[in-house]
């Protein structure tokens, strides 16, 4: 007899009569909880993880898009600030005029236009020798760099001039020039 321990006392039998339904209810509740965990919680948790990964990827893509748009705006501003290729000779005249205002002599100026491999812009190079007092040349170079932000000095060498308080500089400045589409130029000329 498998339930022989229930027949030993009357109190045990009365208590066990109430405990069996409670035990069955507890077991059934555990089975329902396990079923809810397997069929509701696990899929919901998986969906939450997938949504979290998708949200993180979307935020990352949005940040990349905003950075790309900001970069595009900055490049547009820089592009519009670049001189047009036809204005390159005006730049050389402006540099010569700036040198004259600072009492710096520029006897001649050579220029070179080089196409870049991406063919979106042309690199304009101005080469010249300048002589004058050191203080005047220093002011000239400072104003040259600050007046035209897209003109940069590629090469600068100094040597003592033949006159007593003067120095001579060999300067090579460059800038990028917007190029009208379909034009290809590679020329060298001395002004």
Distances (CA, A) of 134 to 66, 98, 163, 166, 172: 47, 16, 12, 6, 18
96 closest CA partner among 136, 139, 130, 125 = 130
Instruction: Convert the pLDDT of each residue in 129-140 to its tens digit.
Output: 888 888 998 899
Asked whether residue 20 carries a pLDDT value surpassing 90, the answer given is no
Find the angle CA(150)-CA(151)-CA(152) to the nearest 5 degrees.
115
**Which pTM value belongs to this model?**
0.58
Sheet with strand 121-133: strands edge to edge: 151-160, 166-178, 121-133, 109-115, 188-190
Which range (68-72, 86-90, 163-167, 184-188) has the least confidence? 184-188
SS3 string, 18-76, reads: HHHHHHHHHHHHHHHHHHHHHHHHHHHHHHHHHHHHHHHHHHHHHHHHHHHHHHHHHHH
């Amino acid at each position: 007899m498998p339930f022989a321990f229930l027949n030993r006392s009357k109190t045990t039998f009365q208590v066990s009569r109430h405990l069996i339904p409670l035990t069955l209810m507890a077991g059934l509740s555990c089975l329902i909880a396990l079923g809810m965990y397997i069929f509701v919680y696990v899929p919901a948790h998986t969906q939450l993880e997938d949504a979290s990964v998708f949200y993180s990827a979307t935020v990352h893509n949005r940040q990349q898009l905003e950075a790309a748009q900001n970069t595009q705006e900055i490049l547009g501003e820089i592009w519009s600030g670049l001189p047009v290729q036809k204005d390159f000779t005006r730049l050389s005249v402006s540099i010569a005029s700036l040198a004259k205002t600072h009492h710096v002599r520029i006897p001649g100026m050579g220029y070179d236009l080089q196409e870049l491999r991406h063919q979106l812009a042309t690199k304009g190079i101005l080469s010249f020798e300048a002589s004058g007092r050191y203080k005047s040349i220093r002011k000239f170079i400072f104003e040259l760099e600050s007046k035209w932000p897209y003109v940069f000095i590629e090469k600068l060498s100094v040597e003592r001039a033949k006159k007593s308080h003067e120095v001579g500089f060999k300067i090579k400045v460059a800038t990028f020039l917007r190029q009208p589409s379909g034009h290809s130029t590679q020329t060298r000329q001395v002004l």
